[in-house]
Chains A and B, each alone.
Chain A
Amino acid sequence: QQQVRQSPQSLTVWEGETAILNCSYENSAFDYFPWYQQFPGEGPALLIAIRSVSDKKEDGRFTIFFNKREKKLSLHITDSQPGDSATYFCAASDGGNNKLTFGQGTVLSVIP
């Protein structure tokens, strides 16, 4: 079964708009949630991460909002740029180990 789910599968926004990517999970033991960004022909790379003790994490134009009670989180990309066009993966782990469970990914396209 899919323990980490992402929506939408694909998203298109205009340059300058805010893109919102959603993620939900099932395992209550998950306590660390990184987002990875992947460009075509490359492996995923860490973009930003949050721990379950926080409800918000910000890094420049990228912000994670986390709702532990609902087991949901979202990645907001403000002032979206064409260079942000990529696939974004939500992931989760528990107990301080490095094994990540990934979602299916959201393909983001930013139109100039």
Chain B
Amino acid sequence: DAGVTQTPRHEVAEKGQTIILKCEPVSGHNDLFWYRQTKIQGLELLSYFRSKSLMEDGGAFKDRFKAEMLNSSFSTLKIQPTEPKDSAVYLCASSLAHGENTLYFGAGTRLSVL
């Protein structure tokens, strides 16, 4: 079975650009999460979908970050406009719904904003 696939693995953007990160969850999983990882903060939740419905949109990230789930097997995270402080690793994870299920993470997209 394929795991969580994230593309691209690396992205370099100029300040002010719009970038779109992509995620394909594990087939059959109902929950999808976007996290941002930095050394200082660790993993911070950006968005949480259940069965394609947005359940949580991380408050501090609302203004320039928008996650969408176009269908059950594809999600995007748009950052518009990018700022240097957005440089981080963006992780997508999926899981089965209902209860304490394991989150399966993709390898992440490393974003550098110049």
Which A residues are closer than 8 A to B by beta carbons? 6, 32, 34, 36, 41-46, 49, 51, 89, 91, 93, 96, 98-105
Contacts and interface: CB of A to CB of B under 8 A. Distances in A.
Contact of A89 (B42, B56, B97, B98): B42
Contacts of B67: none
Nearest to B3: A43
Contacts of A45: 104-105
A38 to B, nearest CB: 8
Interface residues on B, range: 20 to 34
Contacts of B95: 98
A42 B98 CA distance: 26
How would you classify the secondary structure of chain A's contact residues: helix, strand, loop or mixed? Answer: strand
Contacts of B41: 104
Interface of B: 4, 31, 33, 35, 40-45, 48, 55-56, 91, 93, 95, 97-108
A46 B107 contact: no
Given A44-B105, A46-B103, A93-B100, 10 more contacts: A41-B107, A43-B93, A43-B108, A44-B43, A44-B103, A89-B42, A98-B33, A99-B48, A101-B45, A104-B42
